[in-house]
Amino acid sequence: MIAKVEISAGICGFKTTARVESSDEQMVAFHIESDCEKINGLAVKLVDSGSLDAYEEISSQGDSRLLALAREQLSGCCAACAVPIGLFKAMQVAAGLALPKGVVIQLEKEGE
Spatial separation of the C-alpha atoms in residues 25 and 84, rounded to whole Å? 20
Kind plus residue range of the DSSP H or E element containing 30: strand 27-34
- Residue 6: predicted pLDDT: 97
The structure's pTM equals: 0.93
Spatial separation of the C-alpha atoms in residues 3 and 93, rounded to whole Å? 6
- Residue 85: predicted pLDDT: 96
- Write down all domains in the chain, each with its CATH number in brackets: 2-94 (3.90.1010)
- Residue 90: predicted pLDDT: 98
Nearest to 90 by CA among 98, 80, 82: 98
Q: What is the DSSP string of 36-79?
A: -HHHHHHHHHHHHH--EEHHHHH-TTS--HHHHHHHHH--GGGT
Instruction: Give every residue of the chain whose pLDDT is below 50, as ranges.
Output: none
